[in-house]
Amino acid sequence: MHIAVCLVSLLPICFGSSLTRCSPPSGEPTCVCKTHHGTIDLTKITQNNGSAKFADSDFFHGYYHYQYNPCFGFSVGSEGDCNNGNTAICQDEKTLVSTIDTEAMYYDSEGNYELHYSGGDKSRTGIVYLHCDEAAVNPIINTTGDSETPYLYLFNLYTNEACIKKHSSGSDDSGYIGAILISLALTGLLAYFIIGGIILKFHQKKSGTDIIPNKRFWFSLPFLVKDGVKFIATPCIRVKYKDYQPI
């Protein structure tokens, strides 16, 4: 049953225009996502003591009960493959659905977030859809198991921690805007050279380096920069700039 693995692995590709993988900040687990829009941090609703956060008796679908813990691995049961400390999702405390080291968060342009998992027994995989619910201080989770696609387990997690927390300062936004402005400037500069070169070559019949727009300026720019640096640095090092006559 490799179909489920293929489906999960191809989701970011099939929906590449709307589904983006979010890399966590340095030193943070993969259940933390930080973008210029804000931050989602699920570490507040998980457990880091080797046990599963979600393991209640009402966490089931059909005949099967499930155990789940985002961010950190857990162990459960004395039989099966869920007792190795690397479990993310387990079925009936023995069947491994996915491992924590495969956890990855994705988001789309509409602000929907989801966690993807793989590495389970017989290629089992899982997707946890995150739902922003400000009233859900105590998180709520449910599942449809793999009723839609064999070995692909779907879950819905409702919590206020799935709501994007806006950054307290505008530093990240300003950095994002700055990157856009730099990109636009570089694009404009490239267009300037391309369009100018085409006009000089085909309209004015120029060739060689003469197709560079404002050739004299661009060729002299390094020397102008050098002179500017020397002029600014001269007072600091207390050396007279000999190229200028004193007044």
Q: pLDDT tens across 28-46, in order?
A: 999 999 988 889 999 999 9
- Between vectors from CA 62 to CA 59 and to CA 64, what angle results, nearest 5°? 60
Residue 53's Cβ-count burial label (10 Å; 0-12, 13-18, 19+) is buried
8/26 Cα distance (integer angstroms): 25
Structure confidence at residue 147 (pLDDT): 92
Residues 135 and 23 occupy one common structural domain: yes
Are 204 and 118 part of one and the same domain? no
The pLDDT score that the predictor gives to residue 6 is 45
Is residue 243 domain-resident? Answer: no
CATH number, domain at 41?
2.70.130.10
Give the structural domain span for 190: 171-237
pLDDT grade for 110, boundaries at 50, 70 and 90: confident
Residue 245 lies in a domain: no
Residue whose entry in the numeric block shows the structure tokens 């070559």 = 201
Give pLDDT, residue 168: 65
Q: Is the domain of 112 the same as that of 186?
A: no
Give the pLDDT of residue 179.
79
Q: Which of 2-11, 100-109, 111-120, 224-233 has the lowest mean pLDDT?
A: 2-11
Q: pLDDT tens digits, residue range 161-198?
A: 999 988 765 445 566 677 788 989 999 889 988 998 88
Mean pLDDT of the chain: 85
Query: Of residues 226 and 61, which shows the higher confidence score?
Result: 61
Whether residue 124 sits in one domain with residue 8: yes
Q: Are residues 35 and 116 in the same domain?
A: yes
The yes-or-no verdict on residue 15 having pLDDT over 80 is: no
pLDDT of residue 96: 97
Strand partners, 35: 38
Domain's final residue, options 141, 162, 183: 162
pLDDT tens digits, 57-90: 999 999 999 999 999 999 999 888 999 999 999 9
As a whole number, mean pLDDT of residues 97-121 equals 95
The pLDDT assigned to 5 comes to 42
Computed from CA positions of residues 27, 29, 34, 40, in that sequence, does the dihedral angle turn out positive or negative?
A: negative
Residue 110 covered by a domain: yes
pLDDT beyond 50 at 233: yes
The answer for residues whose C-beta is within 8 angstroms of residue 61's C-beta and 6 or more apart is 142, 143, 144, 145, 147
> Would the pLDDT of 235 be above 80?
no
Statement to judge: residues 45 and 155 lie in one domain? yes
Question: Are residues 81 and 146 both part of a single domain?
Answer: yes
Which comes out higher in pLDDT, residue 177 or 112?
Answer: 112
Q: Single out the residue in 162, 197, 228 at which a domain terminates.
A: 162
Total domain count for the chain? 2
- Whether 136 and 181 map to the same domain: the answer is no
Burial class (CB in 10 A: 0-12, 13-18, 19+), 162: buried
DSSP string, 16-77: TTT-EEEPPPTTS-TTEEEETTEEEEGGGGS--SSS-SB--TT-EETTEEEEE-SSS-B---
